[in-house]
Every structure is written in structure tokens, then in C-alpha cells.
Structure 1
Amino acid sequence: MLFGGVIKYVERTSALFSASLDKFKDSMLEDPDPGANYARLMEEYAFKRDMNMPTEVIVEEDPEKGREGNTPVRPDDGLTNLQVVQYAFKYFNIFKGLIVDLIFTNKQRDESRKFFDSLTPVEALSIIEVELSLIYESLFTKAEILHNWTGAVFRVIALACLVSSLCLFSLKSEAQYEGFDVALTYALLICGIALDSIALLMFCVSDWTIATLRKLKEDLDEKDPCAWVDRVLNWILGFRTLRWKTSVCFMDGHQVLDRNFMFRRWSEYVHAHNLIGYCLKIRPKRIHPTKGMLHSFIPCSGTRQFCNWIHRTLSNLTKCSCILLPVTLLRHHIGSSITYVLDFFGLTELVEEIRFTTSDRLTRELWEFIFKQVQHKHRFAEDLESAKSISSARGDWTLVETSSKATEGGPDHAKLLRYVTEKDYDQSILMWHIATELLYQSPEEEEVTEKEEYTNREFSKILSDYMMYLLIMQPTLMSAVSGIAKIRFLDTCAEANEFFERRHINTKRHEKDNLVKEASRAILSVKTYVEPMDVKGDRSKSVLFDGSVLAKELMKLKNGKENMWEVVSKVWVELLCFAATHCDSQEHASQLSKGGELINFVWLLMAHFGLGDQFQINRDDARAKLIVAK
């Protein structure tokens, strides 16, 4: 047992050491390259010139020998589960350098761009989720230590030590020990063996192990005598493949991720936080509600019926005038006490995140929309400067492009551009979020009959609430781009609460389901002849009515026969892409330990399409030659 314990502690210590950023970066560095022998070349060049021999130095491309391979060839009939893992492992070994801010060559960039341009959106999602899973394993598990022959052998030895300890203990006389001690020892040994056996099984069927055992084929048409192994591995990986379920929301509905939690590689959720709902103390509604195992258990357990009974009982009690005052006072004191306790222990923000944040499954249509937008933009990024420019766009690139496609005589997007180019990023997020919510809640927009317009409206709502969630609920992740987002958010909430109180917009006068709609209608009804900044000055950072002005500008697009929701949804994708590329890479990696976020996928997708500033080598490797004319 002592030997097995020593092995465990050595594994853990080695894993922590190898996962440190300095060690992680050192493990990715290639052998030092001194380059061409400059001193020797100059000596020869000077000697030739002294001999009056016509000499020149030319630079030619280095031979292909020793370089990266050509763009991987993908099968015409789609990728198998095994090929997804193999390609993901290949690009993981290249792009894990993003975490420690390594730079990549043009050849690596071009190869990745061509390959991902040939993929379908679902194939790209599958590869990226395996890549992120491998990054998580390399940073937060013992994978780097165990996935070699030394680690595997010692893992088996550690299990053998536990089994031998159990056997030796069972052979000893139990008379000299108390019954409880014997039972406890058996329980600890058996549990230790069970845990190690499960860990060994997971190790054997992990993506890392499978990708290591079955290398990616250079020639896909080549006959393989071990094809049966591929079939077995494809069957094993089939349990973790992406699965979709139809959620009926409009016409034939949308496809949402619906994989068993045991086989997920990430959380698969897109979170939502809404500013107006938060001010009204209303939790955002799910657009695509799905029921997991826990949700299916609740109706059977009677929990819902019990909660409804408590709600009805309290409602009936408050209707009695004789006990109305005591119940009200008791409710007030309990609420004040809970608030005091939460503030004392610093749990207020955590509770608010739980209360006013919802989680919706990622839809296939939303991912395809994001993928196609990034894919479309990468075709304009032929050089590094254009790639940096596109990745730094915060909605302006989309507004300029859609403006050039606008119908003749319709409104241009010059007025909309100032809401992204002349504002801070966090300010833009808040204004576009408010504008999106005001438009989404308007009665006219709920009568949409075309599926494309409805889908763009839905994308805008999901991404708007998701970006608000990232900005307010994930300040560490967004710290590089958030600015004074928290101050602006609180000032905006203060102005909204004051406005709603003055207009008597609360649950006493309106039904809870219609409260957000009534609040949105009231905000839009305010005349905005004068810019809010000219009235309030710079003291308050609230952008409540700036968002209302933006919403009215966006309405003009629809009046001009443009697809307003298409423009809004594309702007939100661009704002998401900006955050993905400008957030700290180490924060992206840290997010993987919490289940992962959609923004992590966009971050890696942008890198694969060559959009960003991590590609900084402008010339391919070359070598100099000394040419002497005859």
C-alpha cells in the first residue's frame, strides 16, 4: 500500500508541475534554430568582392523537407468518429500554444484555414470540442503524465498494489482486530480498487489514448489490415458523438444538443442574463426548454405539487385582512435577514447569478450561423493585416458590408456605426442589449411569419443575453474588454428602477409574464429628441435611453425594407468574436475547468480560420545563397 501511495503522490506532483504555464510553454518549444551562418557567408562575400568577382546574395525558399505536411485530406463522405478525434489531436498539438501566447507560421495558418473551410459546421464543432477537451486534460488532469508507457505501467502497478493489499489482508487472522476496523479496512480497499479500475477504464477509452494508438492516415484510400480496430473504436466513440433533439419553437422547430451528461465533453449550455428582467426581478425564459433526468424526476416526486400548494396557501393567507399585516412584516424581516447574511458572507452576487441566470442548450442552427459568419469573413483575410482588422471589428465590419448591400433608396448604416466605433466595447454591449430586448418584446415582432426572420430574431435574443451574462457574470473572463462595465450596468439598473417605479411597472399592476413587455413598451414610448448624454452629462454612466435611441434607429431598417434582425444578429456575432479573440487565453483555458463556454469554441474557431494576431511570421523559412557570376 505504501508503494502504491507513493506512486499516486508522484503522479499528482508531476501532473501539477507539467501543467504549470512555464513548463507547459517549455514543452512546446522546438530545438533552437541559429539560422543561416551569417558570419561565414559575409566572410565569403567579402573575399569575393576583394577579388573583384561579381557576387550577389539571393534568398530562396527552403526545401519542403522537414516542414509541416500538406493540408490534411478529408474523406468525401464525412468524418467518422475516429477521424474527428485524430484530426482534433493533430490540431491540439499545434494550437495548444494559444494558451501561452505562442505564434504560428503562415504555413500552419494556411493549412488550418483550408482544412476547416472544407468542413461542415457540425464537423467543426465536433473537432473543436475534442480539442478543448484535450486542452482541459493536459492542464487539469494527469493526462500528460499517464499517456506514455511509463505512466501507464505505473498506473497498473498502483492498482496491483491495492489488489495485493486486499489479498494479503484477507489472509491474515481477523480475530486480533475489531469487527468495525475490519469492515472499514475492507471498505476502503474495495473502494480504492473500484475507483482505480474506473479510472483505468476511462483512461483506456479516452480521446487521448485512442488518438495516440491510431495515428491519422496520410492516404485515406490505403487498405488497412487493422480496419476492424477502427470499427471498434468508432463504436466506442459513438457514445460521445453529438446528438440533437428537435425543440418545437417555430414551424418545424430547431435542433438542440441533447447528449447524456455522462458522455458530454463540455456543458453544452448557452447562459442568459437580461438587464430589464434583472431590474424587474424576473428570471429570463428559456427559448428551447429541455428536460434532463432531474427535471423528469421532479413531477414524479411531487415536489412541484408541494411548491404550488405552499404558494396557494400563502396567497390565501395574505387575502385575509386580519393576518395581512403580520405576514407582511414577517416576510419583510425574513427578507432583510437573508439579505444581511448574504452580504456578510459575500454571497449576494452568487445568489443573484443563480436567480437571474438561465441556461439554454446550444442549437445546431445557432452554431451553423456563427460558423458561416466566421467562414465568410476569413475569405477576406488573405494577409495578416486584414486578419487582424477583421478580428478587431466590433460590428462595424458587418454594418459596412450590409450597408453596401442595402436596397437603393433605403437608409444606410452611418448612424448605426457610431454605436460601435465611437463607444467603448462594454458600452456597445449594453446599448445593443437594451435595443435588442426592446425590439424583441415589441408586439409587432411577435407576429413574425417567416422562419428566416424568426430565426435571426431568436439568434439576436440568445446572443444578446449571453453577452450580457459574460460581461456581468464572468468579469474575470471578460476583464480584458469589459472596461467599466459593472459601473455602467449598475447606473443603468438604477435609472431603470427609478423609471419603472415612476411608471408603476410592477407585479401589483401587471401580470408577471407581461411585465417585461410593458416595461419595454414604456421605455420606447419616451421621446428622445435630445441625446441622453446632453441631458445627463458624464456623471451617470447609464445607457438605458441610449439603447432606446438605437432601437428606434434599427426600426428604420425594417421600414426601409431591410431585414433588421439579420443585421442585429450579425452584429452580435461580431461582438462575440471580438470578445473571443481579445480575452486572455489563460482565462479561456481556465473556463474549461468549469464546463466550457460557447465563447471558448468561437475563440478556437477564429484561430483555426487564421483570424487574430497570433500569426506574426510574415515570411516563410528561407535560406541565403551566394551567387558568383561567371
Structure 2
Amino acid sequence: MQLPIPDEAKKLWDTWNLRSFILMSLTLQAVLIFFAPLRKRTSNQIVLMMIWSAYLLADWVAAFAVGLISNSQGDSTGEDVTGDLLAFWAPFLLLHLGGPDTITALALEDNELWLRHLLGLIVQVLAALYVLFQTLPNNKFGIPAIFMFIAGTIKYAERTRALYLASLESFRDSMLGEPDPGPNYAKLMAEYYSKKVARLPTRIDLKAEPEKAATMANIEVVTGGLEDADVIRHAYRYFEIFKGLIVDLIFSFNERNESQQFFLKRNAADAFRVVEVELNFIYEVLYTKIVVVHCLVGYILRTICFLSLLVALIFFIFIPKKGLHQIEIGITYTLLLVALALDTIAFFMLLFSDWTVPSLKNSEKKFPKATKLLKFLILKKPRWLDQFPHPYPKHVRMVAVLFRRWSESMSQYNLISYCLNERSTKLDAVFDYVGLKDILDQMKHMSKSPFTKELRDFIFNELHRKSTIADDDAELSREICSAKGDWILRDIGYPSLLPWVEGVEYDESLILWHIATELCYSTDEHHDKPNDGRKFSKIFSDYMLYLLIMQPTMMSAVAGIGQIRFRDTCAEAQKFFRRREKMKDKDLKQTCEKILEVCTDVRPSHIKGDRSKSVFFDACILAKELKQMKGRQWEIMSLVWLEMLCYAATHCRANAHAQQLCKGGELISLVWLLMAHFGLGDQFRIKEGHLRAKLIVGK
């Protein structure tokens, strides 16, 4: 049975299908080159969804258009595009399949599929060659088509190569040096044994190798503030050393000491700027073509690619176009000119990227005038936002998003507010059925808190203090990193609170302190101040719950049964709220006061057992205990929360940190890297180099 499709519609489709898909493919390339960098700057779901859609459509549309061209070869008559022009258009789609420099992988897992892209490269190149050879030698556009084919193959090969280099196995292998068998033990012992048999007085003299890195530690350690170029230069140096964190490599104590000395002499602003740029280097290595392009071979290939496009345009201009429709000519000029424009834009993006700074600094003596290019870095300095009060004015936020290196915000998720406002609707049921309930919850119940300079200074100062205390004591450093609130409670002298962190699992402790913080915060009459522990506690509390519930991948190593405990706690909270008619107005302060009025002389577990994992009223007991500590209440809570954040940061899987870089980044990733630079972690295990053994014969 034939579908009742009007002949006019079929004719319109036959005429415009290929033209439409080629123009759509070109449009998607333009969208990706301009908007893909926003992935590291914002966690806005709408922006990320737009980039996700463009990325997936770009490959599908280009591959589909290649198929249309292959299918249409030799069938072009009347209103259709001529066969010669089809052969010229096919390499453009190879160019599009190569994608822009700003995005190669949508997620970290895409890099592991580099073999699939290699197969796609082979298939699509063969398809383009098939289309081209079908029209030779009589194709008047043959020469420009060959140049376009060269450019398209280079771009597609660049993308495949970038995916391969960013795959975790290849990334790890690139950082491994030559195998180190150590000194020749067998040879030395054979000589030692032969001397002993000859009854010669023999001994082995051991001498440690000179610590080369110890002298390096004093080279770059300077006091005072850092210029913009110096920030990037230091960030690149530490990126080269510490990028192995992503694949769980270990480091020497010499590397730890060098990094620690540098960061101990920095202020909070400069330390965070270095870490931000360092994470930006990691992002670009894993998700863009920067490693492939930013090298001598890359520059040569990119030059060949650009010249090929230019030559193809020149040839097309002078080739007679008799028999072609004006629409076809216009589309071809659009393809050529936009391809050249996008290549030019990519060149300037590369020129003004962070990767250019270390290169210019290294060649400063040879090309002193080249360093004038570094003036563009003023645009990338987000610290000028400090002059504005929070929240930032709208025009400031719009400008900042174009130049910042991560979202500079912390998502907030509050359990009590969620339980008060959660109402099951048909829309909830539909989203839950299709597995999108978390997205709906984020839209309904999540908010954003800016990462302020006061919060930045608070985090830096505490990590600085702990790094100074730990110094060269590796065991103390590990103890600090493994603490989830207990170390700080002992340090400031509040052992009575230890059972709330030591005697419970991490996820239970997090939810307990989260609810207790909200109960104390909402019933406290004091107003927040810029450096107030009360404000910090509230921000940390809501941020950590967001990570536990909305970012389970990041917290998987420490989450335990956090999801179950959260659900049970919410169920008990909602049950309590339903029984209080006066809470229908959803007033948070009144709700918290009612919760604190509940008699808690007997622990909930003694009454209801442990089948339910709810900690709702256990948190009420903790809140009452905290409210009795007037004077230092908020100082204690803010320090405990920071230690909980540090515990999660160091126990989060490294690839989870890397995965989050393409979704606006997270504060926990900055804290993780900053702790590594302060020497707080268990990744430093190589204590010393080889010993130099010398065989001494005689007295």
C-alpha cells in the first residue's frame, strides 16, 4: 500500500533534502564552535542540553548527508543538484564530521570510543572517495574537490587522534616513563660474593642520590601577587606534573614539597586562580583538539587545511558554472566562506588560549615583542568581579560567563524545603516513569549560591593551616585527609560531638549535620555577615546534600546507602509535616521551631529499631546540642562542614572530577586539586630515589 504523499511534497523533498541537510550540518558546526566552550563555564541545564543536542545531531546529519550524496550519484536530473557538484560537496561533510576544535567528546566515555570513530573515518573517507571517483575525469570541480578532500580528511583525523590521546589508557601511558629496574643488584652481589670467597676485606658503601627536585623547589617559589601570565605559566607547570591525578598515578615527596612551598607562599586569590587554570588545561586535554593542534605537526596540518580551503575557493570562483542553479552556487559559496571563517576563528581561539602563554614565555628572549600578545589575558581575569557586591548585577553576570573558567557557583539542595514543597503531580509521575525525575527536582528545588571571595578565603586559610601543621609528616597528612569532621573537633576541643561523626557512616553524618544546620540556621535570629560561619555552614550544608543526592557519581565512593537514608528521612519528615496542620503555610522558620519542640529524651532507634534508615529526629537531637554551644556554634559547624567537603574531595574518584569539568565544574574539584598541591593526600608515596652502592675492597 503506497502512502498518500502528494507529488508536490515528494518533489520538494527530492529537491531540498540534500541542500537542507548540508546547510543544517554547517549551522551545527557554527553553533558548536561558539557555544561548546560554555560547557566549562556554566551548569545551566538548558545550555548543556542545547550543546548535547547539537553535538549528537552534527554527526548524524553529516553522515546522513554523505549517504544522500552516494545514493543520488548519477540520478541528478532536472531540478536536482548536478553530479559534479555532489562530488564537491561530499568532502565538506568530512570536514564537518571532523568537528570544531572546541569539542571532540561530549563526555569522558566518548574518548573510549575512539576505535569507533577510527572506523567511521575509514568508512566516510571511502564514501567520499567513491563519490569523487564516480565523476572523474570529467568533473570540472575535480581539483577543488580534491583540495576539500585533503582538508576534510585532516580535520576528521585530528578528531580521531584527539579522542585516542584523551582515552584514559592512552592518557595514562603518555605519562609513564621508561621502566625502572633499579641498580644492577645481581651484578653487584656477584662481585661482592667473589671478593668474599677470595677472603678479601669487602664492604658495600651506600650513598643516597642527590635530590634534584630539592633544588627545583626553590626556583619558582616567589612571594607577592602573581601577574596574569605568571598564573597561567605556573598552572601549566603544575598541570604537567599533576595531570597524573586523573588516572590515579602516585607522586614523589619531592614533587609534593615543591608544590607545597609554592602554594604556602600564595594568597587565596592567586592560589585559586592557578588551580582554576590548571583544571582548564585538564578540561581542554580531555574534551577538545588542543593537544593535537597545539604542536608543530598540528600547526603544519592546520596550515595545509586552511590553504586547501583557500585554493578550493579560488578554483571554484574561476570555474564556469553554466548549468548550475543560483541556489546551488550560493550554497557552495556559503560552505567555502563559512569553512574559512570557522578555521580563522579557530586559529584566533588557539592564539589567545591559555596554551599560548607558556610557549611565549619560553621564547621571550628570542621574540621579546611576542609577549605583547599577553595583554589579552586581562579579559580572562574574573577577579574584577570582587568589586561588585553579591549578588552580581545582571550585566556583570552576562559578561563574566564569557570569560570565567568554571561556573563559580555552588548548587544548593535543602532537605526540609524539599519535603515542605514536594507535591506529587501527574507531571512528576511522567518524569519518574521516563527516568527524568532528578531533572525535574533540579528545576523545582535547586538554587545557586555564588562562590564568594569570603568563602574562597575561608577554604584557603583552613587548608593552609592544615598543610602547615602536617608539614613533612606523611602520616598526619593522611590522617587529616581521612577525617570527616573528627580531626577538627579534637583540634578545637569539642570531643562531645565526636559520636556524631565518628560513630556513624559518612552519608549518615552528612544528612544529620545537614538537617541540624538548617534547624539552627532557620531559628537563629542573627543576620549573616560576609565572614560569618553561619552563612558558610548553610552554603556548605546545602551544597554537600546536592552532591550526595544529585551527583551520586561523584560521591559514589563515600555515599554508602545515602539515597536510601535520604528517602527514608524525607518520608519521616513529610509524615511529621502532614500531622501538623499549622505547617500548611510552608513557613520554614516555624517548621524548624516545631521540629525542635519535639521531645527527644529517648533516641529514635530505641523506639523504632533500625529498619528505617531515617535520621530526622537524630538530627533534631544534634541541633539541640549545637544550640547550647553559644559563641562558637557556627565556627564549629563551618569547620566540620569544610572537613566533610575535603573528605569527599579526596575520596571522590579522579575520573568523576574530570567528568564534571564539562558540566560547569564543581567547587569540590578545586578543593581536591588544591589539597593535592598543599600535600594533603595519600598520592605521595615515593620517598626517595635510588641508593648509589659502591663496592669497597680493603680497609
Q: TM-score, normalised by structure 1?
A: 0.83
Picking from 94, 106, 111, the partner of 2:258 is: 111
Say yes or no: does 1:423 pair with 2:504: yes
Give 1:421's aligned amino acid.
E
Greater alpha carbon shift after TM alignment, 97-106 vs 354-363: 354-363
Structure 2 counterpart SS, 1:479: coil
Picking from 659, 671, 674, the partner of 1:590 is: 659
Q: What is the deviation of 1:66?
A: 8.6
Which residue number in structure 2 is paired with residue 520 of structure 1? Answer: 592
Q: Is the 8 A contact 1:107 1:620 kept in 2?
A: no
Q: Is the 8 A contact 1:83 1:216 kept in 2?
A: no
Which residue number in structure 1 is paired with residue 330 of structure 2? Answer: 183
Give 1:396's aligned amino acid.
D
Greater alpha carbon shift after TM alignment, 24-33 vs 162-171: 162-171
Picking from 541, 549, 568, the partner of 1:491 is: 568
Higher relative contact order (CA 8 A, sep 6+): 1
Structure 2 counterpart SS, 1:270: strand
The alignment's C-alpha RMSD in Å is: 2.3
Q: What is the deviation of 1:245?
A: 3.6
Query: Structure 1: which 4+ aligned runs deviate by more than 4 Å?
Result: 64-68, 224-228, 246-250, 256-259
Q: Is the 8 A contact 1:61 1:622 kept in 2?
A: yes
Q: What is the deviation of 1:208?
A: 1.4
Q: What is the deviation of 1:589?
A: 0.7
Structure 2 counterpart SS, 1:132: helix
Say yes or no: does 1:36 pair with 2:117: no
Greater alpha carbon shift after TM alignment, 587-596 vs 342-351: 342-351
Pair 192,51 (structure 1): closer, same or farther in 2 beyond 3 Å:
same
Which residue number in structure 1 is paired with residue 455 of structure 2? Answer: 366
Q: What is the deviation of 1:178?
A: 1.2
Q: Pairwise mapping of residues 262-273 of structure 1 onto structure 2 (< 5 A)?
A: 262-273=402-413
Pair 66,596 (structure 1): closer, same or farther in 2 beyond 3 Å:
closer
Separation of aligned partners in 2, 1:433 and 1:426: 10
Q: Is the 8 A contact 1:86 1:215 kept in 2?
A: no
Give 2:194's aligned amino acid.
F
Which residue number in structure 1 is paired with residue 286 of structure 2? Answer: 139
Separation of aligned partners in 2, 1:596 and 1:68: 35
Give 1:627's aligned amino acid.
I
Which residue number in structure 1 is paired with residue 437 of structure 2? Answer: 348
Pair 259,395 (structure 1): closer, same or farther in 2 beyond 3 Å:
farther
Q: What is the deviation of 1:264?
A: 1.5
Give 2:444's aligned amino acid.
R
Q: Pairwise mapping of residues 433-582 of structure 1 onto structure 2 (< 5 A)?
A: 433-446=514-527, 451=529, 455-506=532-583, 509-510=584-585, 515-558=587-630, 562-582=631-651
Q: Give a deviation string over 1:474-507, Cα, whole Å, max 9, x none.
A: 001111110111111111111111111111254x
Separation of aligned partners in 2, 1:402 and 1:83: 37
Give 1:78's aligned amino acid.
G
Q: What is the deviation of 1:187?
A: 1.9
Which residue number in structure 1 is paired with residue 84 of structure 2? Answer: none
Q: Is the 8 A contact 1:87 1:216 kept in 2?
A: no
Q: What is the deviation of 1:444?
A: 2.9
Pair 525,336 (structure 1): closer, same or farther in 2 beyond 3 Å:
closer
Q: What is the deviation of 1:52?
A: 2.7
Pair 247,280 (structure 1): closer, same or farther in 2 beyond 3 Å:
farther
Pair 347,379 (structure 1): closer, same or farther in 2 beyond 3 Å:
same
Separation of aligned partners in 2, 1:437 and 1:398: 21
Pair 258,178 (structure 1): closer, same or farther in 2 beyond 3 Å:
closer
Which residue number in structure 1 is paired with residue 236 of structure 2? Answer: 89
Structure 2 counterpart SS, 1:557: coil
Structure 2 counterpart SS, 1:214: helix
Which residue number in structure 2 is paired with residue 69 of structure 1? Answer: 216
Pair 216,504 (structure 1): closer, same or farther in 2 beyond 3 Å:
farther
Structure 2 counterpart SS, 1:612: coil
Q: Is the 8 A contact 1:439 1:445 kept in 2?
A: no
Percent identical pairs in the alignment equals 45
Q: Is the 8 A contact 2:222 2:262 kept in 1?
A: no
Separation of aligned partners in 1, 2:469 and 2:270: 23
Pair 166,342 (structure 1): closer, same or farther in 2 beyond 3 Å:
same
Q: Give a deviation string over 1:403-444, Cα, whole Å, max 9, x none.
A: 1xxxxxxxxx23310111011000010000001111110143
Which residue number in structure 1 is paired with residue 476 of structure 2? Answer: 386
Which residue number in structure 2 is paired with residue 627 of structure 1? Answer: 696
Q: What is the deviation of 1:157?
A: 1.6
Q: Is the 8 A contact 1:257 1:362 kept in 2?
A: no
Separation of aligned partners in 2, 1:64 and 1:257: 48
Q: Give a deviation string over 1:265-298, Cα, whole Å, max 9, x none.
A: 111111111101111128xxxxxxxxxxxxxxxx
Q: Is the 8 A contact 1:80 1:234 kept in 2?
A: no
Separation of aligned partners in 2, 1:225 and 1:169: 41
How many matched pairs?
Answer: 547
Q: What is the deviation of 1:547?
A: 0.9
Q: Pairwise mapping of residues 284-433 of structure 1 onto structure 2 (< 5 A)?
A: 336-381=425-470, 382-403=472-493, 413-433=494-514
Q: Is the 8 A contact 1:374 1:606 kept in 2?
A: yes
Q: Is the 8 A contact 1:491 1:542 kept in 2?
A: yes
Pair 563,246 (structure 1): closer, same or farther in 2 beyond 3 Å:
farther
Q: Is the 8 A contact 2:557 2:653 kept in 1?
A: yes
Separation of aligned partners in 1, 2:644 and 2:335: 52
Say yes or no: does 1:239 pair with 2:239: no
Separation of aligned partners in 1, 2:184 and 2:388: 65
Separation of aligned partners in 1, 2:452 and 2:485: 23
Greater alpha carbon shift after TM alignment, 377-386 vs 365-374: 377-386
Structure 1 counterpart SS, 2:206: strand
Q: Is the 8 A contact 2:203 2:697 kept in 1?
A: yes
Picking from 326, 330, 351, the partner of 1:204 is: 351
Q: Is the 8 A contact 2:182 2:690 kept in 1?
A: no
Give 2:415's aligned amino acid.
L
Separation of aligned partners in 2, 1:9 and 1:197: 18
Give 2:508's aligned amino acid.
Q
Q: Is the 8 A contact 2:428 2:440 kept in 1?
A: no
Picking from 299, 310, 319, the partner of 1:163 is: 310
Structure 1 counterpart SS, 2:663: coil
Q: TM-score, normalised by structure 2?
A: 0.75
Q: Is the 8 A contact 2:222 2:265 kept in 1?
A: no
Which residue number in structure 2 is paired with residue 278 of structure 1? Answer: 418
Pair 574,216 (structure 1): closer, same or farther in 2 beyond 3 Å:
farther
Pair 260,579 (structure 1): closer, same or farther in 2 beyond 3 Å:
same
Separation of aligned partners in 1, 2:233 and 2:450: 27
Separation of aligned partners in 2, 1:504 and 1:361: 36
Q: Is the 8 A contact 1:390 1:611 kept in 2?
A: yes
Q: What is the deviation of 1:143?
A: 1.3
Structure 2 counterpart SS, 1:472: helix
Q: Is the 8 A contact 1:62 1:623 kept in 2?
A: yes
Q: What is the deviation of 1:587?
A: 0.7
